[in-house]
């Protein structure tokens, strides 16, 4: 240490005390923190005040030493002239620092005052220590009687400052610990509130799920009754028959397509080469793309006209084909088959529509509504069950967090109060 004061004290050997054990309710923690915090604050201020009061006389004594030293010529007349200059300059530096930087200590009535005291005393010790360190030879050799006084004085001041610093550091440490405990407590309270809210929502979701399940069971029962009725069985039989009959449509389409494919090329060329009115053009386009869709009695004569016009176009050379005779033969064959195709298509739609009308008359009017209600409620059930699981997972997560936070509080409370607390969520 500077100027020889402040030798390190041996740490006191103390027997580790076994902490007391207490049970407390979570809600009582703020009062414990407040009470202990106020007690710590009061004790810290009292001890720092005492240290300040015991240090202030040393400050006054230091000022007196400066005054006496200023008047003492240190017998410089008896020493070498050059050395005397160094001694006088060194003495002046010491006195200047004492006069300028050694001031009365601030009074302590609050922790802010204590911090100001700590800073002020630190500055005094630093300034005086620095100057004495630079002028240590001058003081020890030419002002021996002051060296011991200064050393003893500053050593006590330094020890007092160390105690003040330690007290403030310990208080701030415990204050920080108290703040951490309060913050953790706030987290726990927030989690408890959140758990209550999620628990209510979980119960609502579970009750809603049971309600929906009852509704689904009722709807399913109604659907089962409808599906077990004789009329519904007749409906299914007719539906199966209609599905099977619908397969005949593809056979008719294939047969018609096979025939019209034979003349598809001249038909397409006729479409591009001729100038037809809108209705004829639409009919020709459908005849090329999907002849089944236009083979109805009302279109038969127009189709025959189109086919004969194609024949004339081939004959006149406006429509070119590889084999004219074969194409003429295919056109003739198509015209001759036209009546049969139209009849097949008409008979098919007549029978299909009759079966469809019969099927619609047998279809249960409320079955579709019931099935829609079933789908809707099934979807609502899945949504409600998902919400229930989500809330339960969140509750489980909270239930795992809270004990860890409580353990953290118990650990910090023991550091804060030297008492081993067991924290209970509520009073039994």
Per-residue pLDDT 10s for the chain (428 aa) are 345 555 444 444 444 555 678 888 988 999 999 999 999 999 999 999 999 999 999 999 989 888 887 777 777 666 777 787 787 787 788 888 888 988 999 999 999 999 999 999 999 999 988 888 887 777 776 667 778 888 889 899 999 999 999 999 999 999 999 999 999 999 999 999 999 999 999 999 999 999 999 999 999 999 998 888 888 888 888 889 888 888 888 899 999 999 989 988 888 888 776 667 778 888 888 888 899 989 999 999 988 988 888 888 888 888 888 888 898 999 999 999 999 999 999 999 899 888 888 888 877 778 888 999 999 999 999 999 999 999 999 999 999 999 999 999 999 988 888 888 898 987 65
SS3 75: coil
Closest C-alpha to 102, from 140, 72, 69 = 69
Angle among Cα 227, 228, 231 to the nearest 5 degrees reads 75
Compute the distance between CA of residue 28 and CA of residue 50 in angstroms, rounded to an integer: 33
Q: Are 121 and 92 in contact (CB under 8 A)?
A: no
The contacts found for 179-184 with CB under 8 angstroms, 24 or more apart, are: 180/412, 181/29, 181/33, 181/409, 181/412, 181/413, 181/416, 182/30, 182/33, 184/405, 184/408, 184/409, 184/412
Q: Are 115 and 44 in contact (CB under 8 A)?
A: no
Q: Are 270 and 316 in contact (CB under 8 A)?
A: no
- The token duo for 404 is 């860890």
Compute the distance between CA of residue 244 and CA of residue 255 in angstroms, rounded to an integer: 18
- The token duo for 311 is 């024949």
49-87 residues labelled b (16+ CB within 10 A) or e (exposed): bebbeebeebbebbeebbeebeeeebebeeeeeeebebb
């Amino acid at each position: 240490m500077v100027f020889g004061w402040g030798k390190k004290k041996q740490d006191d050997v103390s027997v580790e005390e076994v902490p007391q054990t207490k049970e407390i309710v979570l809600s009582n923690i703020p009062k414990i923190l407040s009470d202990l915090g106020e007690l710590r604050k009061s004790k810290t201020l009292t001890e720092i005040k005492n240290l300040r009061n015991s240090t202030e006389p040393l400050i006054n004594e230091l000022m007196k030493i400066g005054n006496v030293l200023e008047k003492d010529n240190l017998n410089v007349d008896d020493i070498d002239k050059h050395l005397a200059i160094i001694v006088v300059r060194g003495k002046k530096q010491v006195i200047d620092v004492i006069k300028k930087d050694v001031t009365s200590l601030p009074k302590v009535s609050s922790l802010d005052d204590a911090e100001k005291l700590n800073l002020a005393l630190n500055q005094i010790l630093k300034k005086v220590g620095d100057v004495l360190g630079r002028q240590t030879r001058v003081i020890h050799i030419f002002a021996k009687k002051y060296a011991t006084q200064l050393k003893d004085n500053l050593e006590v001041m330094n020890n007092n400052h160390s105690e003040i610093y330690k007290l403030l550091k310990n208080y701030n440490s415990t204050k920080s610990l108290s703040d951490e405990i309060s913050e953790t407590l706030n987290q726990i309270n927030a989690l408890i509130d959140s758990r209550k809210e999620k628990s209510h929502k979980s119960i609502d979701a579970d009750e809603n799920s049971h309600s929906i399940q009852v509704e689904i069971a009722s709807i399913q029962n109604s659907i089962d009754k409808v599906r077990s009725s004789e009329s519904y069985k007749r409906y299914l039989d007719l539906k199966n028959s209609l599905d099977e009959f619908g397969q005949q449509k593809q056979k008719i389409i294939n047969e018609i397509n096979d025939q019209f494919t034979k003349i598809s090329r001249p038909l397409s060329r006729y479409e591009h080469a001729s100038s037809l009115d809108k209705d004829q053009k639409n009919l020709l386009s459908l005849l090329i793309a999907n002849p089944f869709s236009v083979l109805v009695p009302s279109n038969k004569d127009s189709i025959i006209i189109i086919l004969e016009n194609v024949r004339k176009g081939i004959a006149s050379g406006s429509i070119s084909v590889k084999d004219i005779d074969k194409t003429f033969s295919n056109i003739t064959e198509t015209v001759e088959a036209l009546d049969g195709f139209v009849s097949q298509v008409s008979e098919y739609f007549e029978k299909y529509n009759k079966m469809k009308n019969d099927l619609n008359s047998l279809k249960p009017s409320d079955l579709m509504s019931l099935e829609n209600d079933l789908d809707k409620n099934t979807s609502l059930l899945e949504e409600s069950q998902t919400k229930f699981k989500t809330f339960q997972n969140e509750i489980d997560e909270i239930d795992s967090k809270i004990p860890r936070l409580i353990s953290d509080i118990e650990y910090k409370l023991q550091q804060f109060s030297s008492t081993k607390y067991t924290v209970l969520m509520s009073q039994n």
